[in-house]
């Protein structure tokens, strides 16, 4: 017996559809027609008093049913859905509205509508969306009652089914029939795919799996910038390594709902942001999460409680906009103050600064149109350009400090040097204050990252004094990278080959044997051979020192810290050992996992001070 009929086709060159009609006696029912028009083919599916029409311009619908698709991460969605790990899909039933006071769902008999293809894939999923209706042989004549019954029977399925993202529309149609528990009803389910967005998503997914980066992805100029961005963010989120970090960030935010972020939660959020930089996760993902989750009025900072950097920003920009007797140009003191405020706001993940800037730009634009006063607009443009320099420099410096194997091209060195000159004309030492000092004091900056940062700082000063060239600075960072690669290779090799390396490295003879065996193994390891020249005696000694320090910490110091709950002793070791904090925390996690110690104890030890 035939249980379902499946169609596949195209609407124009962009929209591909897969339609399934499932239910009893579908082989003897008339449910479909294709109409040729001067605009192109029009495809119509109908049953009872419901129909769905696919035409070159968009999707037309009438009767019962709705539209659903997988949520795309980063888009605005109900906070309840965001915080419910089981809810993965967006569902919109035709004619459904929400009471603004009671938040109860109401159903209207007015369900006719039309969605352009662009709007469908913009408001819903950028890749694939579904439209459906139920033909119940007119047993439920009131469409509002029909919609309510569909929601009660199948709403949870459509909101939670993983088949939606996987594209398993045939299995989904049978699950939908089972959920409705209406043996005589037929379901019409159509999966609509945007082929251009799908191709771009596949390119992004392949590139990110291979390189953990989307920098070299073609621009796909035929796609809207917003669509490109949301596709890329969604691809980054669905990578397993990133999803864990982002979901943890979401859980911490959920614990802060209805209140301000307390210092402990803020420190944990900052740590997650720092770790996420290693996978080049855009920080805008976390900003969007905060905007969605912490949207209650009680979570906002009242004006009288604003930090001083926001208050001074509001004063400077407010005077710039509204003052009738002030200069259109901001003074150097004002510019420096705004730059410091911007960096302080970024360090605190406070979006108020950026909101003030956007509001100021909008008001200046209005003034420019109404009064034909373009001097303010030009001056504001210069300010925005200065902030672009800050963002560009911050990105490069952070990558250098927090990510492995990062080099700067000569063009990037030239760009940073040009930015430094601009900052230094405002105030001597401003570059060091804004970009270098905060990273040097950051516990999670990598040891080799700091070396590259020092090389960049000294190199920029040497360029300024005509003692070095752009190429010299790029080469110095490249040399440090070569040493870093060699160090990581030797360290990883050492950890793999030594079952009890701690004891072996405690004697001069053991350390000499270690050096000899490592060199021999590298000489016979084809992938490591290019690093042979970079493996100096000093580098081997650095690896030995690191392994011995780790052994000392894990075997002697950490048990004592755990027994005495001595966080100060731990912090002293981390500050003076020179080991990368994130690696020590990984060793601590392994230690706790092997001994089945409670994770709350590890969280207390690793909790930042203050």
3-state secondary structure 273-337: HHHHHHHCCCCHHHHHHHHHHCCCHHHCCCHHHCCHHHHHHHHHHHHHHHCCCCCCCCCHHHHHH
What is the DSSP secondary structure assignment for residue 406, as one 8-state letter?
-
In angstroms, the CA 438 to CA 362 distance is 32
Give me the residues of the chain with pLDDT under 70, please: 74-76, 219-221, 258, 262-268, 270-271, 274-275, 278-279, 295-305, 318-329, 371-374, 497-506, 609-610
Q: What pLDDT does 350 receive?
A: 87
> What is the DSSP code string of 41-77?
EEEEEEETTEEEEEETTEEEEESS-EEEEEPPTTS--
Task: Kindly report, residue by residue over 531-570, the tens digit of the pLDDT.
Answer: 777 788 888 888 888 888 888 888 888 888 888 888 888 8
Cβ-contact 455, 473 below 8 angstroms: yes
Q: What pLDDT does 301 receive?
A: 34
In angstroms, the CA 533 to CA 482 distance is 10
Cβ-contact 483, 539 below 8 angstroms: yes
Q: First vs last Cα of the chain: how many Å apart?
A: 70
Q: Packing angle between helix 581-595 and helix 599-606, nearest 10 degrees?
A: 160
Encoded tokens for 117:
């293809």
In angstroms, the CA 393 to CA 196 distance is 34
Q: What is the CA radius of gyration of the chain?
A: 30
Strand spans (E) along 170-314: 186-194
Strand spans (E) along 446-575: none
Q: What pLDDT does 469 receive?
A: 92
Q: What pLDDT does 561 receive?
A: 85
With tokens 């009025």, the residue in question is: 297
Task: Kindly report, residue by residue over 483-509, the tens digit of the pLDDT.
Answer: 888 888 888 877 776 654 445 666 777
In angstroms, the CA 99 to CA 106 distance is 7
Q: What pLDDT does 271 receive?
A: 60
Q: What pLDDT does 102 receive?
A: 74
In angstroms, the CA 245 to CA 256 distance is 17
Q: What pLDDT does 295 receive?
A: 61
Which residues, other chains included, contact 340 with Cβ-Cβ below 8 Å and sequence gap of 6+?
309, 433, 434
Task: Find, among 516, 425, 531, the residue nearest to 485 by Cα.
Answer: 531
């Amino acid at each position: 017996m035939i249980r379902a009929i499946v169609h596949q086709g195209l609407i124009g060159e962009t929209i591909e559809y897969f339609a399934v009609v499932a239910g009893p006696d579908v082989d003897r029912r008339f449910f479909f027609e294709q109409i040729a028009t001067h605009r192109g083919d029009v495809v119509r599916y109908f049953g009872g008093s419901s129909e769905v029409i696919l035409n070159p311009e968009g999707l037309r619908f009438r009767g019962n049913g709705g539209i659903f698709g997988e949520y795309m991460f980063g888009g605005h969605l109900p906070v309840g859905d965001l915080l419910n790990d089981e809810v993965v899909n967006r569902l919109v039933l035709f004619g459904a509205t929400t009471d603004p006071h009671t938040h109860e769902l109401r159903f209207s008999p007015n369900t006719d509508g039309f969605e352009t293809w662009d709007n469908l894939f913009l408001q819903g999923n950028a890749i694939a969306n579904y439209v459906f209706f139920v033909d119940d042989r007119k047993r439920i004549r009131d469409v509002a009652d029909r919609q309510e019954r569909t929601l009660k029977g199948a709403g949870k399925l459509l909101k939670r089914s993983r088949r939606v993202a996987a594209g398993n529309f045939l299995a989904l149609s049978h699950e939908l029939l089972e959920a409705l528990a209406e043996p005589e009803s037929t379901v019409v389910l159509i999966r609509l795919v945007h082929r251009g967005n799908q191709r771009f998503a596949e390119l992004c997914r392949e590139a990110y799996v291979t390189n953990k980066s989307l920098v070299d992805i073609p621009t796909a100029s035929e796609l809207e910038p917003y669509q490109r961005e949301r596709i890329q963010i969604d691809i980054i989120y669905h990578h397993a390594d990133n999803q864990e970090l982002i979901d943890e960030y979401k859980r911490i935010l959920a614990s802060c709902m209805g209140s301000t972020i307390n210092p402990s939660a803020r420190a944990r959020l900052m740590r997650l942001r720092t770790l996420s930089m290693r996978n080049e996760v855009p920080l805008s993902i976390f900003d969007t999460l905060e905007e969605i989750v912490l949207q209650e009025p009680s979570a906002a900072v009242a004006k009288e409680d604003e930090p001083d950097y926001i208050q001074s920003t509001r004063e400077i920009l407010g005077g710039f906009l509204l003052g009738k007797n002030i200069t259109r140009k901001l003074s150097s003191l004002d510019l420096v103050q705004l730059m410091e405020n911007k960096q302080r706001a970024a360090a605190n993940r406070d979006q108020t600064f950026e909101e003030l800037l956007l509001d100021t730009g909008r008001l200046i634009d209005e003034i420019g149109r109404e009064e034909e006063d373009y001097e303010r607009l030009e001056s504001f443009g210069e300010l925005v350009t200065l902030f672009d320099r800050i963002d560009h420099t911050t990105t490069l410096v952070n990558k250098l400090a927090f990510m492995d194997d990062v080099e700067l091209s000569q063009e990037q060195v030239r760009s940073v040097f040009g930015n430094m000159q601009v900052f230094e004309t405002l105030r001597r030492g401003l570059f060091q204050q804004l970009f270098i000092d905060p990273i040097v004091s950051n516990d999670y900056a990598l040891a080799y990252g700091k070396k590259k940062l020092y090389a960049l700082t000294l190199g920029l000063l040497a360029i300024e004094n005509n003692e070095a060239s752009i190429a010299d600075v790029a080469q110095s960072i490249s040399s440090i990278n070569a040493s870093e690669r060699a160090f990581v290779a030797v360290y990883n090799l050492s950890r793999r080959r030594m079952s009890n390396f701690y004891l072996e490295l405690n004697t001069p003879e053991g350390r000499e044997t270690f050096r000899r065996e490592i060199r021999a193994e590298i000489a016979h390891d084809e992938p490591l051979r290019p690093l042979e020249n970079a493996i100096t005696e000093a580098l081997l000694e650095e690896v030995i020192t690191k392994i011995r320090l780790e052994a000392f910490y894990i075997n002697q110091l950490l048990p004592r810290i755990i027994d005495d709950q001595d966080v100060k002793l731990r912090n002293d070791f981390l500050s003076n050992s020179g080991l990368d904090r994130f690696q020590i925390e990984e060793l601590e996690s392994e230690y706790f996992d092997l001994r089945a110690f409670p994770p709350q104890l590890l969280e207390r030890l690793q909790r930042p001070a203050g």
